[in-house]
Amino acid sequence: MPAEPPVVTPRSLAEAYELLGGDPFRPIAGGTDLMVQITGELGEPPERVLDLWRLDELRGIRLANGDALAIGALSTYTQIRRSPLVGEHLPALAEAAATIGAAQIQNRGTLGGNVVNASPAGDTLPVLLAADADIVLGSRRGERTVPAADFWTGYRKTARAEDELVLRIVFPLRPGRRTRFRKVGTRRAQAISKVVMALAYRSDGGVWRDVRVALGSVAERPIRVPETERVLEGAAPRQSVADHAAATIAGEISPIDDVRSTADYRRAVSARILHRMLREEGGW
């Protein structure tokens, strides 16, 4: 095992930006992903580590301008699960947080870490896609916002530059929108997803509108399924529509066989999860 890399702990965001603007640093938040990578057995180990834990600017869950929910990158899963604001406005995220690891990981792992780690199996990522979240990045050059839809660019690749930090994730609040989440793994806890799905929509005059269906663990990055969304958009909640949507999603995704699951299983489970969510939401 290599020697531990040096760790620097900035006390302010400005100091963190200065450090990141110089020699390359790997940020560390809860460390639940990074510490697994530190030996170098799973990719390039970090040469220098920048500890974000004292940056209060990256904390807090609050309403922004009354029409968005802003969640600081350092928010832990426990904080997300306990947040009345998340419970009220984005229950799917609280549900996702509740399925991650177990208590130890939920007390330490952060939303920002999940977002930047960019695993295709990252459980919160489909929720961000379904809820049209924006990811706010900061560096010495200022702040910029990247829609979640543009953030994960390939296998474990993101739109973040090396000197940028994720500051917060912002979810627009849409009146009447409902969000749902479902994860299928080998066990109820400490399970990496075989399939993870988030659904968002609102009911309008007896039909589904603004439908978003997002999945993890079925492609090299978290994805939305536009063909399936088109089947549901403007449709009435009926069994025949759910049947059509389930058949469409099974044909639309191209999952891989890997150690956790087979492509056939993932396809069948994705169709089944979507069908069940639609049935539960439609109330038939």
Classify burial at 156, counting beta carbons within 10 Å of its beta carbon; exposed 0-12, middle 13-18, buried 19 or more: middle
The neighbour count for residue 110, using CB atoms within 10 Å, is: 28
Binding test (CB under 6 A) with ligand FAD, winner from 10, 112, 222, 237: 112
Beta-strand ranges (E) seen in 115-194 are: 134-139, 142-147, 152-154, 157-158, 165-172, 177-184
CB-based contact 20:142 (threshold 8 Å): no
Residue 256 as a binder of ligand FAD (CB under 6 A): the answer is no
Site string for ligand FAD, 214-243 (x = CB under 6 A): ------------------------------
CA 91/CA 198 separation, integer angstroms? 11
Binding test (CB under 6 A) with ligand FAD, winner from 38, 71, 73, 218: 73
Closest to 128 measured CA to CA, from 83, 189, 86: 86
Residue 110 as a binder of ligand FAD (CB under 6 A): the answer is yes
Stretch near ligand FAD under the rule CB under 6 A, chosen from 9-17, 97-105, 206-214, 266-274: 97-105
Residue 166 as a binder of ligand FAD (CB under 6 A): the answer is yes
Residue 26 as a binder of ligand FAD (CB under 6 A): the answer is yes
Residue 120 as a binder of ligand FAD (CB under 6 A): the answer is no
Residue 28 as a binder of ligand FAD (CB under 6 A): the answer is yes
Residue 138 as a binder of ligand FAD (CB under 6 A): the answer is no
115 vs 231, which CB is nearer to ligand FAD?
115
Axis-axis angle for helices 263-282, 239-252 (nearest 10): 160
CA 84/CA 11 separation, integer angstroms? 29
Residue 270 token pair:
């994705």
CB-based contact 54:67 (threshold 8 Å): no
Residue 179 as a binder of ligand FAD (CB under 6 A): the answer is no
First to last CA, the chain: 57
Stretch near ligand FAD under the rule CB under 6 A, chosen from 99-107, 198-206, 227-235, 267-275: 99-107
Residue 195 as a binder of ligand FAD (CB under 6 A): the answer is no
Residues that bind ligand FAD (CB under 6 A): 26-34, 36, 52, 58, 73, 100-101, 105, 108-110, 112-114, 116-117, 122-123, 165-166, 190
